A and B are shown apart, each in its own frame.
Chain A
């Protein structure tokens, strides 16, 4: 038992629990936005397990592939794979097992849902991490597309197909991701430079990056608002989403016109709170 617990403690950081939790929350919210019988425990449980497995699996695979650059960055060099605490071959097996299980379960539940989950995993691991991350800073577009897949998949499972609301929800995540990742790449600029990973700040400079963040924040807020209106969110909840969006836009504007380390950090954290709050609103609305 002690051995299993020790192993679990080693692997826990490999799945980036907060990021995985947020993405799982988007998937659940996408499903709930369909107002289908959300208390169908079998479907809800399957959705949760498949999302957790597939997203955790892809995260472990990313960590496995990126272990060399993680070892060069101060922020990530203590991660279990980068520091050599976990055997890479074993991590690869765990990542593949989780991914195959997650996608397999998703396919068994619904072919379209499974296909979207597979697409998310493929875009994240193969296109974003393996193919583009070390070549171009624009790789984050593919990271964003893969990040938008759980909410699209959840919505597709709920409504039984693809619709414009699902696409808009997915776009909301896609545009939110630059706000999250680009503030991160500004905050840890030196780390990414040391690892040789191209980022927006290193390729286009900080000013362009800030403008990109501001524009993507506006687009994320618009997409979230439009999709919430599209699936019939109550007026009061829309109002609250609007208030939270204004907070996001003000911080983005502050970073554009009065940039500072504190504002960058504030926007980075607020963007996560914003997305989590938006997903909670969708879930409460559905209940």
Chain B
């Protein structure tokens, strides 16, 4: 496992600070439920950044990472759906809870390999597409400012990061382990910047 470079620490710290800003200030004008959902998403991002700085890239090897990294796209997409797709609130809430519990269960008990992968792919896929497409559609239709499409770009980046981590943990990395870890802090920061700027000016 490569040692974390000072630049990586700076990138992660900036990610943490931006996430903290988003929790404390960036979502203050929303309703209670989206605030809760976004607080969970950016809160996980904040705590994860701090733990990465403290413990290094080694924590990415923990089995719990798969479960915890699901919380960010699920909570973000849930907040977006709650705000902008009123008719889908309850079905999507049920999907999010079931998706999270399914990942938690399939990762906690021993079972054949295919089911955990399918559950993970479906849950991540739906949440990722929601974060990617919904903001871009809302911006294109003129419902929200064009800058809101940056949230969609952030969604694409979170999807990319998720894929990299997934294949890394599955033992079939798309890039070499060193390269993934080299781009990971920058990717996290870029994604967070997109979310913060998108929510602020969108």
Chain A residues within CB distance 8 Å of chain B? 234-237, 239-240, 242-244, 246-247, 250, 262, 265-266, 269-270, 273, 277, 281
Contact = CB atoms under 8 A, between A and B. Distances in A.
Contacts of A269: 54
A250 B44 CA distance: 11
Interface stretch (B19-27, B99-107, B174-182): B19-27
Contact of B50 (A242, A265, A270): A270
B54 A240 contact: no
Nearest to B58: A262
B109 interface: no
A107 to B, nearest CB: 38
Given A240-B23, A240-B24, A250-B47, 16 more contacts: A234-B24, A239-B35, A242-B39, A243-B42, A243-B43, A244-B46, A247-B43, A247-B51, A262-B58, A262-B59, A265-B54, A265-B55, A266-B51, A270-B54, A273-B50, A273-B54
A262 B1 CA distance: 15
Contact count band on B: 10 to 19
B31 interface: no
A243 B45 CA distance: 10
Interface SS of B by simple majority: helix
Contacts of B58: 262
Interface string B44-66: 00110011001100110000000
Contact of B24 (A236, A247, A266): A236
Contacts of B54: 265-266, 269-270, 273
A284 to B, nearest CB: 9
B23 A236 contact: yes
A246 B23 contact: no
Given A235-B28, A265-B55, A266-B55, A243 B23 contact: yes
Nearest to A241: B24
Given A243-B43, A243-B46, A247-B50, A262 B23 contact: no
Interface of B: 20, 23-25, 27-28, 35, 39, 42-43, 46-47, 50-51, 54-55, 58-59
A248 B200 CA distance: 29
Nearest to A258: B64
A133 B27 CA distance: 47
B48 to A, nearest CB: 9
Contacts of A266: 51, 54-55, 59
A157 B59 CA distance: 43
A242 B47 CA distance: 12
B142 to A, nearest CB: 29
A242 B39 CA distance: 10
26 contacts: A236-B23, A236-B24, A236-B25, A236-B27, A236-B28, A239-B23, A239-B24, A239-B39, A240-B20, A243-B20, A243-B23, A243-B42, A243-B46, A244-B46, A247-B50, A247-B51, A250-B47, A266-B54, A266-B55, A266-B59, A270-B50, A270-B51, A270-B54, A273-B54, A277-B20, A281-B24
Contacts of A242: 39
A244 B28 contact: no
Given A239-B23, A239-B24, A246 B51 contact: no
Given A266-B55, A269-B54, A244 B47 contact: yes
Nearest to B43: A243
A30 B43 CA distance: 25
Contacts of B25: 236
B47 A246 contact: yes
A234 B23 CA distance: 12
Contacts of A265: 54-55
A281 B108 CA distance: 37
Nearest to A265: B55
A79 B94 CA distance: 58
A5 to B, nearest CB: 27
A235 B55 CA distance: 30
B43 A237 contact: no
A264 B25 CA distance: 32
B39 A247 contact: no
A236 to B, nearest CB: 4
Contacts of B51: 247, 266, 270
